[in-house]
Structure 1
Amino acid sequence: MATKSILLFDFEVGVREVLSHCLKDFGGWKVILATSIPEGLARVNSEPPDAILVDVRLSREAHSLQLLQELKRFSGKYIPIVLITARASWFTQQQLEEIGAIGAIAKPFNPVSLPTQIAKLLNW
């Protein structure tokens, strides 16, 4: 079975590094990093991932939600998107579907169990 790949979209270096290590070390997945909307779209085009993990922070929420809208328009194929946010419980399933996400994981998260949570949402 081929290794699954996840495009990780995060603006903050420290959080991006922690998430990347969690996904690689505990999930065994290939992690593709993106730090901006243009870079994320380019990565989807050049190395289409099996899934996308978007870190939504209060200070950058507009950028993250803009990325989701751009991905819905840009991508020629369906790629499941998972949000990671302190406000995960605020989203209804309908709201998640409207913005193009299949689920949301709450922050703070447990680094060891994060890949399990993601895998469950993705049915991996």
Structure 2
Amino acid sequence: MPTKRVLVIDDEADIRAIIRGCLEDIAEWKVFTAASGEEGIQLAITEQPDGILMDVSMPGMSGLEALHKLQEESKTRMIPVVFLTAKALLEEQEIFTTLAIAGVVVKPFDPMTLVDQVTGVFGWNS
């Protein structure tokens, strides 16, 4: 199977580092990271990742706003997005079901099972 290319958009440097380490070291995927929605959109356009893991709550442009911009852009509209969120409130889960996203990964996540979780949510099981 060809190497997957994943873009991680999260304002927390520690979270980006943990996810990058897991996906690169365990799955041997190529990982790009961005600290903001704006930066993530630009990277998505230029790098054309196979999937995007994006935090919902970020300063400036939220994950929801970035999702809408990604879906408006012809070069990124077909890239599947998985939201990273620490908030697993029932109301928020209901909102997520109405969005065109591949799924949700709840923080804190277990780094040892993250690759399997991401693979499953994106539907990349071989």
Q: With structure 1 as the length reference, what TM-score do the two structures score? A: 0.85
Specify the alignment match of 1:11 in structure 2: 11
Structure 2: segments with no counterpart, 5+ residues: none
Pairwise CA RMSD = 2.0
List alignment gaps of at least 5 residues for structure 1. none
CA separation of 1:62 and 1:43: change in aligned 2, threshold 3 A: closer
Secondary structure of the residue aligned to 2:98 is helix
Partner in structure 1 of residue 115 of structure 2:
115
Number of equivalences? 121
The structure carrying a bigger helix percent of its residues is 1
Identity of aligned pairs, percent? 35
Amino acid in the other structure paired with 1:71? L
* 8 Å contact kept, 2:37–2:61: no
| TM-score, normalization by structure 2 | 0.83
Partner residue in 1 for 2:70: 71
After the TM superposition, which parts of structure 1 deviate over 6 Å for at least 4 consecutive aligned residues? Answer: none
SS at match of 1:49: coil
State the distance in 2 between where 1:108 and 1:3 align.
Answer: 26
